[in-house]
Amino acid sequence: MDHRWQLDLPDEPVVVPGDAPRLTQVLTNLLANARTHTPAGTTVTVGLARGDGGARLTVVDDGPGIAEDLLPHVFERFARGSVSRSRRTGSTGLGLAIVDAVVAAHGGNVRVHSRPGHTEFAVWLPTETPAPPPDDRVAPSTAVISGGIHAGP
């Protein structure tokens, strides 16, 4: 591999209620984004922690950063890191828009902070299941996040 991948995970699993395949897609898209938009030799660290009544997942890299003019638009559909990037070179510009939509649908939020040498995507998701409406007959599922995302009981 041309990147250095690191994990900073707690000893105990962090349980997040939600759709496990969609939450997996969030992590997959963030990692693919780091791989695609940073040069060889970049270190990417995935972190997970509990806090503020939820789970905080971070993907941090030491690459060149996101252009200041692009930063406010990274979660918009079809946003691309540069005009040279296209669907032909592997970027549809939808990955971060999907991350934002899935995280919002789970009651969370995603933020990005970037400067040269440090870009951090931080996802916060609640660890409590909100009370369903009285007529909701579908039991919520959960996802366990620790070294990956797995369907929970």
What is the strand order of the sheet 43-51 is part of? 4-8, 43-51, 54-61, 118-126, 109-115
CATH number attached to the domain at 15-126: 3.30.565.10
* pLDDT over 70 (residue 88): no
Give the pTM.
0.78
Residue range 55-87, pLDDT digits in tens: 999 999 999 999 999 999 999 886 655 443 333
pLDDT at 101: 95
Section 10-25 average pLDDT: 94
Residue range 95-150, pLDDT digits in tens: 899 999 999 999 999 999 999 999 999 999 999 876 666 655 555 555 555 544 44
Say if residues 97 and 75 touch (Cβ distance below 8 Å).
Answer: yes
